[in-house]
A and B are shown apart, each in its own frame.
Chain A
Amino acid sequence: MNQDADLLLAWGDALSSTEFYLRVMAAQHLSHAAFQRIERDADLHALALLDRAAARVAGAELEPVTSPQRRRRDEETDELLAGTAHPPAASYPTTPAVAMDEGREQTDAVGGYVGATPVMAPARALAAADEPSWVVFDEEESPAPLDDSDDHTEEHTALNTPRTVPAHTDWDQYVTYEDHVEETLDYADGDVTLDEPADLEAVTAVAGRPPIASSAPTPAPVTRTVPEPEPDDLEAFESDLPADVETVLPTITPAAAKTATPAAPTPTPAPRAAATPAPEPARVGLSGEAARFAVDRLDDVPDDDTPTPGAPPPRVTPAPAPPRPAIKPEIAAALAAAASKRSALAERVTTGLYGSGQTGPMVRETHDPRPKSAAIQLNAKTGASKVIGLEEEEEPLEIGDAGDYGEEEPAGGSGMRIELQEYEDEPSIDEPEPEPATALRPSAPPVPAGPTRAEIAKWLAEAKASDEKGQIDDGIARYSDVLDADQGSLDAFLGRGRLHLDRGDFARAVSDFLNAERIAPKDAEPQIGLGDLYFARKEYRQAVDSFEQALALNPNSAKAYSRRGISQYYRKNYPQALKDLQQAQKLDKNSPNIVTYIAMVQKKLK
């Protein structure tokens, strides 16, 4: 038995309580972005202190602060970061605590921790140094804070600063190759469409280990190092794409695109760098076709390839580009149909007043410095056209005496007359007007109407029923459903907060109670909830404060009197406890256990 067990337990309780206070204080008074920065910076402070301690306590194998709860919290933080303009998981894979837990080391320019001293073991190696190892945080290169409405006055210059990555950066520390292979297999199986640039992260990361450049808030232009296929071919191919190509591309799964690729020779097992094109950074805008090219290239990656820890991706000579993949029959048919439609459209379009003059007839009078486009009658079948007059004149031209032009005058005629000949509508012209490109796209699914008030009330009743049955997880899920539909539901926040409290999840409980307080600042229930939270943590002074606030809002709350009385009892303030409990009994004779509580206090007073 540890002789200092009691002391350690006391320290542990005090430290846990202190940490809780500090985090609640930060959550209450600071923005969410600041709260996250605190979480991150506190880890760095802790590491620095541990390094100092390691320098003083020779032989002690200090371990980093890790626990399942910490790991889960850090993962949640990563999820939050992934949904913002922050570097996604590929480039900012984890918070320092998780990195430590997995034995990784923070090196420079990774995740914004520029200049960070490698933690623990390397720091211990430097323990004899005069100056303590301190984690240096370079503000300019720091990960940008979350976009928080409270922080709109801050200048997030770091967001616009692309990161530069030194050549010795070991990417394999942060993104495991197995993860990419797994994601790549998902792509290859057609589980994921490749039209979204975000979905290409894994593809590009495997292909070229790109530099971190995605921290800018504006996603365009997308920086990728995807092995670019034949640029000319790609451009030519894309130029041939019909306007309604979006209706075709989503039906193309990567697997289908892969099958359309001509059979390539089976690559011999070789390092990945030799099989993939050079990871030369290239700024290319990825289309669906480029994504398919990328998937095809990934097929060339041998499965037994494993990254060499600590070794930078070698630069090799680019491999020759693969032949252009064959186009699937249905795509070719769609392209042909679109091309014919486009040519038909072109035949029906005049060149305009100042057009090129190569496809439309132009008429120029001597006094007019610029030629004018002639009105033309199109014959879509033959392509022939007849000039029937100037564009600005609708009537047939009367040219007057032909003698003026030195021509022979026909017998009996007084001049030349151009007769208008009315053509019947050509059947080909009756081709229906092409629909706008947007109309060809599949219409967006109708936005489902939100739940009605009655439905929300029903869900809330079901959540309360689960709550009363003691089904904590089910109740939390149902309350969450209610809150998804109605963010202003006081009962849902209070109910879920109490269930979190029952489960011992104080952080989520305090969040729900604070939200309830925000919704109903004049309501006593959120204060009672916070008081219960403090009471559950045996922090009776704070609990009394919360119950007093509740009583200030509702002086007739028997529940608040009862809870405050019990809190006073545990603070050994028995007279006040008896007074509160008796007041609670006076207000509500059916207060739970009120008689028992009063008996307890009276016993102490004797």
Chain B
Amino acid sequence: MSDADGVELKQLKQAFEAGLEARISELLGQVRAITALTRQLAEVDGTPSAGALKQEIQAQLAALRAELE
């Protein structure tokens, strides 16, 4: 493998890691947000805002599932 190939490989590796880092950050953020919403839903169940909150959670869960797939 030539030096140029090595440099290119290194750049590819860095790009992959940067992309993976951003991707995982985003997914983790989604997971944590939904966790917080779920916890909140357990507390506000029965109140008028519970329905909207549940829909919000389901929407975000669907988005997360789509992201993960």
Q: Is there an interface contact between B53 and A60, defined as CB atoms closer than 8 Å?
A: yes
- Interface size on A, as a range, is 35 or more
Q: Is there an interface contact between B45 and A19, defined as CB atoms closer than 8 Å?
A: no
The reply to whether the CB of B9 lies closer than 8 angstroms to some CB of chain A is: no
The reply to whether the CB of A153 lies closer than 8 angstroms to some CB of chain B is: yes
Q: Is there an interface contact between B20 and A29, defined as CB atoms closer than 8 Å?
A: yes
How many residues on the B side are at the interface (Cβ–Cβ under 8 A)?
A: 39
Q: Is there an interface contact between B52 and A8, defined as CB atoms closer than 8 Å?
A: no
Closest A residue to B10 by CB, please name it.
A153
- The answer for the CA separation of A557 and B61 in the assembled complex, in Å, is 41
Q: Is there an interface contact between A43 and B24, defined as CB atoms closer than 8 Å?
A: no
How many residue pairs bridge A and B at CB < 8 Å? 126
Q: Which of B25-39 contact A (CB under 8 A)?
A: 25-39
Contacts of B8 in A (CB 8 A): none
Q: Is there an interface contact between A53 and B37, defined as CB atoms closer than 8 Å?
A: yes
- The answer for the CA separation of A62 and B35 in the assembled complex, in Å, is 11
Q: Is there an interface contact between A60 and B52, defined as CB atoms closer than 8 Å?
A: yes
Closest A residue to B36 by CB, please name it.
A65
Closest B residue to A62 by CB, please name it.
B40
A94 to chain B, nearest CB (A): 17
Q: A34-B21, A38-B24, A153-B14 are in contact. Are A49 and B38 (CB under 8 A)?
A: no
Q: Which of B11-69 contact A (CB under 8 A)?
A: 14, 17, 20-22, 24-42, 44-45, 47-49, 52-54, 56-57, 60-61, 64, 68
Interface of A is mostly: helix
The reply to whether the CB of A42 lies closer than 8 angstroms to some CB of chain B is: yes
Residues 183-208 of A, flagged 1 when their CB comes within 8 A of B and 0 if not, give 00000000000000000000000000
Closest A residue to B57 by CB, please name it.
A11
A490 to chain B, nearest CB (A): 28
Which residue from B30, B47, B53 sits with its C-beta under 8 Å from A49?
Answer: B30
Q: Is there an interface contact between B25 and A58, defined as CB atoms closer than 8 Å?
A: no
Contacts of A56 in B (CB 8 A): 52, 56
Q: Is there an interface contact between B17 and A19, defined as CB atoms closer than 8 Å?
A: no
Contacts of B35 in A (CB 8 A): 12, 15-16, 19, 65
Q: Which of A4-57 contact B (CB under 8 A)?
A: 4-5, 8, 11-12, 15-16, 18-19, 22-23, 25-26, 29-31, 34, 37-39, 41-50, 53, 56-57
Contacts of A408 in B (CB 8 A): none
Contacts of B21 in A (CB 8 A): 26, 30, 34, 37-38
The reply to whether the CB of A2 lies closer than 8 angstroms to some CB of chain B is: yes
- The answer for the CA separation of A65 and B39 in the assembled complex, in Å, is 9
Contacts of A359 in B (CB 8 A): none
The reply to whether the CB of A356 lies closer than 8 angstroms to some CB of chain B is: no
Q: Is there an interface contact between A8 and B14, defined as CB atoms closer than 8 Å?
A: no
Residue with the greatest number of chain A CB neighbours at <10 A, chosen from B17, B25, B56: B25
Q: A45-B26, A45-B29 are in contact. Are A8 and B41 (CB under 8 A)?
A: yes
Which residue from A12, A25, A46, A48 sits with its C-beta under 8 Å from B24?
Answer: A25
The reply to whether the CB of A365 lies closer than 8 angstroms to some CB of chain B is: no
Q: Is there an interface contact between A37 and B25, defined as CB atoms closer than 8 Å?
A: yes
Q: Is there an interface contact between B17 and A46, defined as CB atoms closer than 8 Å?
A: no
The reply to whether the CB of A63 lies closer than 8 angstroms to some CB of chain B is: yes
Q: Is there an interface contact between A15 and B38, defined as CB atoms closer than 8 Å?
A: yes
Residue with the greatest number of chain A CB neighbours at <10 A, chosen from B44, B54, B56: B56
B55 to chain A, nearest CB (A): 8
- The answer for the CA separation of A5 and B43 in the assembled complex, in Å, is 11
Closest B residue to A5 by CB, please name it.
B42
A63 to chain B, nearest CB (A): 6
Q: A23-B28, A38-B24, A45-B30 are in contact. Are A53 and B42 (CB under 8 A)?
A: no
Which residue from B10, B33, B54 sits with its C-beta under 8 Å from A46?
Answer: B33
- The answer for the CA separation of A4 and B37 in the assembled complex, in Å, is 14
For the complex of A and B, list the 10 residue pairs with the smallest distance between their C-beta atoms, beginning with the closest. Answer: A45-B29, A42-B28, A49-B33, A41-B25, A46-B32, A46-B33, A59-B49, A46-B29, A42-B29, A65-B36
Given known contacts A30-B17, A50-B37, A57-B53, what 4 new A-B pairs fall within 8 Å (CB)?
A: A15-B34, A44-B29, A50-B36, A63-B40
Query: Residues on B close to A: CB < 8 A?
Result: 10, 14, 17, 20-22, 24-42, 44-45, 47-49, 52-54, 56-57, 60-61, 64, 68
